[in-house]
Amino acid sequence: MREDVRMRYRQLGRTALQVSELCLGTMNFGPETPEEESCAIMDRALDLGINFFDTANRYGGDKGVGATEEIVGRWFALGGDRREKVVLATKLYGPMSHWPNDGRLSARHIRAACDASLRRLQTDHIDLYQMHHIDRTAPWDEVWQAMEVLVQQGKIIYVGSSNFAGWHIARANETARERGFLGLVSEQSHYNLLVRQVELEVLPACLQYGVGVIPWSPLSGGLLGGVVGDEATARRQSPIALKRIDKLRPQLEQWEALCRELGEDPAAVALAWLLHQPGVTCPIIGPRTMDQLVGAPLRAFDITIAPETAKTIDSIFPGPGGTAPEAYAW
């Protein structure tokens, strides 16, 4: 374990809120990681200066929807200023039951989902309340009216999105501007060296509107962490993982060879690359074990991506070709 790490912080989008350059994702807490170990990981994250925790009302896997929020809530209840130190983010959208209004982004569900998350999390407010997906049936005036009420009630502070397109971000924030509301301050997007489509329109939209980008799956399910050599783990050798590895083997071999030349762990370099991208606030790491928290993620802070290294990385994992519309028009 590294004891010398000095956490760095960035403003979340255009807000004054300071969040750590790594966000602790909790999706594995409960279904993959037992509660006792989950609590130990959260304690260690705080010790390391990680102050940004992300969860969702749907997380829980075979333990049931809401189980992960409940684990986080019981951890907060242990005291010791745990809640006060954490910038808490959770999400809503997915169905919480089979009833028709127990999901998506109607004003009714936004209100009910927020209250339910507050109960599970054992807190009186959520720092960043995120829409997990776009709801094309919900007018933005309805969504923002509901969010405005939650802000006025002190139940949430900021609003973010996840898996939105550039158009969604623009429309949402233009409507918020018309209403005199702050609007979206963050966007969680699938972004890593293997998945760079957000560079076309999502990242430019976020930069224009001051929306902080929070990449999820920064290691592409572990593929960028070293899978073609001795570093492969049992999880990465699942049939699905093996199929992906075989398909991407030439790129992954070049990638891991480059990281060996640099003398660095591939996972650390992949995270460092994200931290060097314009508009990115912090990648989400979702450790299943303590070792996954204190290993490569912390090393990423010490890595500088030199221009020649960035060019080599782009040759291995070509991006989509630039921002829209230039990337697919003249």
Per the domain annotation, does 185 fall within a domain? yes
Whole-model pTM over 0.85: yes
Residues 287-312: tens digit of each pLDDT = 999 999 998 999 999 999 999 999 99
Per the domain annotation, does 325 fall within a domain? no
Taken in order 233, 280, 45, 9, the sign of the CA dihedral is positive
**Residue % of the chain over a pLDDT of 90:** 91
The residue count for the chain: 330
Residues 5-45: tens digit of each pLDDT = 679 999 999 999 999 999 999 999 999 999 999 999 999 99
Angle at the Cα of 272 from the Cα atoms of 305 and 311, rounded to 5 degrees? 35
Residue 234's pLDDT is what?
45
Which strand (E) or helix (H) includes residue 68? helix 67-76
Mean pLDDT of 69-87: 98
Per the domain annotation, does 41 fall within a domain? yes
* pLDDT confidence bin for 233, thresholds 50/70/90: low
CATH number at residue 110: 3.20.20.100
What phi and psi values does residue 25 have, to the nearest 5 degrees? -85, 140
Per the domain annotation, does 208 fall within a domain? yes
Per the domain annotation, does 234 fall within a domain? no
> Residue 94: pLDDT above 80?
yes
Structure tokens, 177? 């501007």
* Cβ pair 208, 177 in contact under 8 A: no
Residue 1's pLDDT is what?
43
Domain count, the chain: 1
Per the domain annotation, does 231 fall within a domain? no
Mark residue 163 as left, alpha or beta (left: phi above 0; alpha: psi -120 to 50; beta: remaining): left
Catalytic residue status for 59 = yes
* Cβ pair 93, 105 in contact under 8 A: yes
Residue 28's pLDDT is what?
98
Per the domain annotation, does 101 fall within a domain? yes
Per the domain annotation, does 327 fall within a domain? no
In the set 59, 93, 191, 209, the catalytic residue is 59
Residues 267-277: tens digit of each pLDDT = 999 999 999 99
* pLDDT confidence bin for 165, thresholds 50/70/90: very high
Residue 6's pLDDT is what?
79
Domain housing 168:
9-221+266-307
CA distance 299 to 279: 21
